[in-house]
Amino acid sequence: MTTVTDYGVTADGFVLKPVDVILSESFDRARAAFPGADLTSTSALRKILETAAAEDGELWKRLEDLYYGNFVSTATGATLDLLGEDTGLERAPLASTGTVTVTLDDGVEGRSYVLPQGAVLVTTDPVRAFGTVAPVVLDSRNATADVGVVAFEPGPDGDVDADTITGIDPTYRSIYLADFGPADFTVTNPAATTGGTKDESDGTYRGRLLGIARNLWTVEAVAQAALGVGGVLDVVLSDPLGGVDVSQSYFDLFNFDQRAFSSERRVGQPYFFTVVVAHDFRWPWHTTGPVPGVFERVSAAVDAVRPIGIHANIVEADHIEVGVRATLVIAPGSDGVALLSSVRRRLATDIAALRLGGDVLYAQVVSAFVEQPGVLDVQGLHLRRAPAAFGRITFGDVPFQRVLAEGAVGENLVMGPTELATFVVDGDAFDVTVVTG
């Protein structure tokens, strides 16, 4: 066993001095100052030294916190905030959340009406916009339902009082709900929305600080600018001439004072690169009513870091809904509905962690099933992807068709470089039959 004799700031970092070492050193000093002093467990001098050693131990812990508070990778709380101020990146606020009650008015008998995920709901003046987190399906028999909402803009302004959210944004309704005819939705929030006064966690904030770009025009700088926009999940940059793509063979083989990028171009000729953006489904791609679009906000953010004559082509990523088809074998007495709900939540969490081009692994999906208590086996598991497709040649309007592409048993879902896998908890791509083993 190695004995540590060097404490405090060392070449290996800060080494904390244990309380037993502090107490042992106190005993040595007491014996040197008072030869023959009584240091048994019942002596008054020992009790004083033990109390002082405990206080010194807390002081050493504080010194350790102060030391590691100087580094982004180890700082926490207020010290991490101070480091963020030094780099010019402050801790971001969270978005307010709450629940609204949606009521169908003047619905036609026998018809269902769907309020989609991400529907834009607004308050009275001053207008605050919220997005629904799940679809709402109503008809004349079931005309009322509750659904969660999230404020589009983070911060305390999203904390609104009860009965403040009054309805669907007129612009959103005219675009996405135009075929409702005389039917309409009445929306209200029975309770206040909360959470806007809270800030992001240390882990999230630390990750943004560690990834902050130190140069103006690099891949990291552009990605950082785009990722700093609310609602953006991931970005991929593509530069066919190698200006910001370090994988190109001719990258870094030119002089910045003579050429704009790696390939010669005429003076005044604009240069374009592509930024593929994956975003949260609640945020509209283009500005809708009071909600600024992801496209406009990313364009403005990238414009702040691009050189003159270099322009960004902002492209929306392909959001691919994924699902499964399988037979789930559960133990007798297990609650099949609860197990399916747990599997859905697990898949939503795992797939949400993927980024652009990230494949959905078969083994990952199997784990989401078999690691649930009460599950005996999962059989005939097929992964699905549901890209949108339009109907073939037709006389009249072109109908929208939903196509489910299904892989073989054991096959991963391979995503393209501009595709982002998403999992909708209430989506119809999830088709699982539960049987008792």
CATH for 247: 3.30.70
**Of 98, 91, 135, the residue nearest 281 (C-alpha):** 135
Q: Clarify whether residues 366 and 414 are in a common domain.
A: yes
Single out the residue in 19, 53, 68 at which a domain terminates.
Answer: 68
* Domain count of the fold of the chain: 4
Average pLDDT over residues 62-88: 88
pTM score over 0.85: no
Q: Clarify whether residues 308 and 344 are in a common domain.
A: no
> pLDDT tens across 379-433, in order?
999 999 876 433 333 334 444 445 678 888 889 988 888 888 888 777 778 889 9
> pLDDT tens across 272-282, in order?
778 889 988 78
Q: In what order do the strands lie in the sheet with 120-123?
A: 165-168, 120-123, 129-132, 144-151, 97-105, 184-188
Q: Clarify whether residues 348 and 403 are in a common domain.
A: yes
Highest mean pLDDT, choosing among 169-183, 218-232, 324-338: 324-338
Say if 2 falls within a structural domain.
Answer: no
Q: 77-87 and 202-210 helices cross at what angle (nearest 10)?
A: 30
Q: Clarify whether residues 254 and 334 are in a common domain.
A: no
* pLDDT higher than 80, residue 268: no
Q: How buried is 155 (Cβ within 10 angstroms: 0-12 exposed, 13-18 middle, 19+ buried)? A: middle
Alpha-carbon separation of residue 122 from 127, 137, 149 (angstroms): 6, 20, 11
Q: What band does 217 get if pLDDT is binned at 50, 70 and 90?
A: low
d(Cα 285, Cα 229) in Å, to the nearest integer? 12
Q: Clarify whether residues 156 and 229 are in a common domain.
A: no
**Of 158, 165, 161, 183, the residue nearest 173 (C-alpha):** 183
Q: Clarify whether residues 339 and 373 are in a common domain.
A: yes
Taking a C-beta distance cutoff of 8 angstroms, is the pair 237, 273 a contact?
yes
Q: Clarify whether residues 322 and 312 are in a common domain.
A: no
Q: Clarify whether residues 350 and 408 are in a common domain.
A: yes
Cβ neighbors of 6 (< 8 A, separation 6 or more) are 15
Average pLDDT over residues 258-283: 67
Say if 339 falls within a structural domain.
Answer: yes
Q: What band does 94 get if pLDDT is binned at 50, 70 and 90?
A: very high
Q: Comparing 103-117, 176-190, 300-314, which segment has the lowest mean pLDDT? A: 300-314
pLDDT computed for residue 260 by the predictor:
43
Q: Clarify whether residues 231 and 264 are in a common domain.
A: yes
d(Cα 388, Cα 401) in Å, to the nearest integer? 7
Say if 120 falls within a structural domain.
Answer: yes
d(Cα 360, Cα 351) in Å, to the nearest integer? 7
Alpha-carbon separation of residue 212 from 92, 113, 235 (angstroms): 14, 45, 15
Its sign, for the CA torsion 227, 232, 236, 240, is: negative
* Token pair belonging to 302: 């990238």
> Which residue shows structure tokens 């010019």?
88
pLDDT computed for residue 234 by the predictor:
87
Percent over 70 (pLDDT), the chain: 86
Taking a C-beta distance cutoff of 8 angstroms, is the pair 164, 110 a contact?
no
Question: Collapsing DSSP states into helix, strand and coil, what is residue 15?
Answer: strand
Say if 234 falls within a structural domain.
Answer: yes
Average pLDDT over residues 99-115: 89
Taking a C-beta distance cutoff of 8 angstroms, is the pair 425, 345 a contact?
yes
d(Cα 203, Cα 339) in Å, to the nearest integer? 30
Question: Collapsing DSSP states into helix, strand and coil, what is residue 257?
Answer: coil
Taking a C-beta distance cutoff of 8 angstroms, is the pair 104, 139 a contact?
yes
Average pLDDT over residues 77-93: 87
Say if 82 falls within a structural domain.
Answer: no
Single out the residue in 153, 173, 188 at which a domain terminates.
Answer: 188
* pLDDT higher than 50, residue 262: no
Full residue range of the structural domain in which residue 387 is found? 318-436
Q: How buried is 361 (Cβ within 10 angstroms: 0-12 exposed, 13-18 middle, 19+ buried)? A: middle
Percent over 90 (pLDDT), the chain: 27
Q: What band does 329 get if pLDDT is binned at 50, 70 and 90?
A: very high
Q: Clarify whether residues 426 and 335 are in a common domain.
A: yes
Q: What band does 261 get if pLDDT is binned at 50, 70 and 90?
A: very low
- Tallying the residues shown for the chain, one arrives at 437
Q: Clarify whether residues 248 and 312 are in a common domain.
A: yes
**Of 432, 413, 399, the residue nearest 320 (C-alpha):** 413
Say if 207 falls within a structural domain.
Answer: no
pLDDT computed for residue 379 by the predictor:
92
pLDDT computed for residue 87 by the predictor:
80
Single out the residue in 143, 171, 188 at which a domain terminates.
Answer: 188
Q: Clarify whether residues 221 and 308 are in a common domain.
A: yes
Residue type, 5: T
Say if 265 falls within a structural domain.
Answer: yes
Q: Which residues pair with 93 in a beta bridge?
A: 199
Say if 78 falls within a structural domain.
Answer: no
